[in-house]
A and B are shown apart, each in its own frame.
Chain A
Amino acid sequence: MDEAAIEELELSDAESFEEVQLTAAQVIEMMEEAWVNEKFAPEILPHKMEVVDCLLGQIAYMEENLQSLPSTDFKKSIHQLEVDRLRFLVSSYLRTRLEKIETYVTHILKQEQQRHESKEDLYLSKQELKFAKEIAEALKQNFDGLVSFYPGLPLEEWVSQPVQPNMHSFVFLKSKKDVNEVVIDDGSIATEGESDLVDFREGAQILIAYSSVAGLLKKGDVKLI
């Protein structure tokens, strides 16, 4: 998160064309990683809105530059395609998040509430939170209308047992650095020292249950592939 903020600063401060180019490439790389992570993780991940905003700025800047090129220029179509690809990257990322928010709306809102109470960073961006609340409200109204024919019928079930992401689904991941003694969560309640451990070496590719590596993924020590 901090890295992104710094980069944003660098981008706005950057004077020479070379520097912008370099940081732009890094931003795209970060965006790609966030996109792939989001695509393969079963639950919603902390938002990367700084990267999104930064990349959107880049896209706008590139499009502005493209406008000045004559439409007969061969370079224009190549750059245009590049811009389109970047835009797909951003919108696919945001769409994936929206889809997760909609599917697990009750579950996610409950978790966000807990995070808010314990003063942790929220996983949803401000706009996403607003969207989540709105669709939760609309869904509730729809269900309430359903049982309005007989007041007092219990409908709490869908609130108390919301759809939850399967945290034990398996993911492929690549370790970005050496991580020692990752506890393998096999679903059983193992006491200290009894559970199986595994060491990740840098660059290693591993297939493992998501719940074992959720923390590492959020810290950025590993990435999904």
Chain B
Amino acid sequence: MYGEKAYALVKECANHENSLPPYNASLVQEVSNEIRTLVEENQEDAQTSTEETSDSGSVVSTIRLRHAAVKRNLRCLMAYHYNRLRLLRKMRWEFGSILPADIKSNLSPAEIEWFAKYSRSLASYMRSVGDDGLNLAVDLKPPKSLYIEVKCTVDYGRYELNDGTVLLLKKDSRHYLPRSECEELVRQGVFEHIL
């Protein structure tokens, strides 16, 4: 039936609300093919109906149905891609301008390009705020206290604080650090916030 594949595509989005599944190139290709076939069939019918005007009435409804299917398929395609971009946007805020490799491998070339563009626009916007820019990707939560206690989940190595002190971050070590300095590492999963 028309539109079934497109529905599967949208369904995939709904099933992965918070994670980005691999880009389903083959299904997108199939939906595109379906659209192409439908449009071509329509054009053919339109051609013949102008030639034999006597029974054009029967063709019109067929064309309408196909046209509706094309529109629906297009809409599903757009929804699929748009939803992926929204997820990607969320990741830009979480991980910063450099994506983890396992996410990057799930993207289509067009999405990688979009991400680079988005990152660039966002970075240039952040630079233009105030006199010397403002990093909007920090201070995501209202600060409750200046220092927080964190646990290191991986062997991160040396990490230098703003005031010049160098820390050695080992797995399972605990630190009491200024919140502003370790917020990004917490989001990247290097630190675990202990409440």
Q: For chain B, residues 34 to 79, give those with C-beta under 8 angstroms from any C-beta of chain A.
A: 35-36, 39, 70-71, 74-75, 77-78
Contact status B32-A98, CB under 8 Å: no
Residues of A within 8 A of B135 (CB): 91
Which of B94-102, B136-144, B184-192 participates in binding chain A? B136-144
Assess whether A146 is interfacial by the CB under 8 Å rule. Answer: yes
Assess whether A135 is interfacial by the CB under 8 Å rule. Answer: yes
Contact status A149-B179, CB under 8 Å: no
Assess whether A199 is interfacial by the CB under 8 Å rule. Answer: no
Contact status B110-A95, CB under 8 Å: no
With contact pairs A131-B122, A131-B125, A153-B74 given, residues A143 and B143 touching in the complex (Cβ less than 8 Å): no
* Chain A interface, >50% SS class: helix
Assess whether B89 is interfacial by the CB under 8 Å rule. Answer: yes
With contact pairs A87-B139, A90-B134, A146-B81 given, residues A130 and B125 touching in the complex (Cβ less than 8 Å): yes
With contact pairs A80-B146, A127-B128, A150-B39 given, residues A71 and B163 touching in the complex (Cβ less than 8 Å): yes
Give complex CA distance A158, B75 in Å. Answer: 9
B141-166 CB mask vs A (1 if < 8 Å, else 0) is 11101100000000000000001000
Give complex CA distance A91, B134 in Å. Answer: 8
Assess whether B106 is interfacial by the CB under 8 Å rule. Answer: no
Which of B17-25, B113-121, B169-177 participates in binding chain A? B113-121
Residues of B within 8 A of A146 (CB): 77-78, 81, 110
Q: Return the chain A residue nearest B73 by Cβ.
A: A153
Query: Given A53-B130, A60-B131, A149-B32, list of 10 further CB < 8 A pairs?
Result: A88-B142, A88-B143, A92-B139, A130-B125, A139-B114, A142-B111, A147-B74, A150-B35, A155-B78, A157-B75
Residues of chain B whose beta carbon lies under 8 Å from any beta carbon of chain A: 32, 35-36, 39, 70-71, 74-75, 77-78, 81, 85, 89, 110-111, 113-114, 117-118, 120-122, 124-125, 128-131, 134-136, 138-139, 141-143, 145-146, 163, 179-180
**18 examples of A-B residue contacts, CB within 8 angstroms:** A53-B130, A56-B130, A77-B146, A88-B139, A92-B139, A94-B134, A98-B125, A98-B136, A102-B89, A127-B125, A130-B124, A130-B125, A143-B78, A146-B81, A147-B77, A150-B32, A150-B35, A157-B75
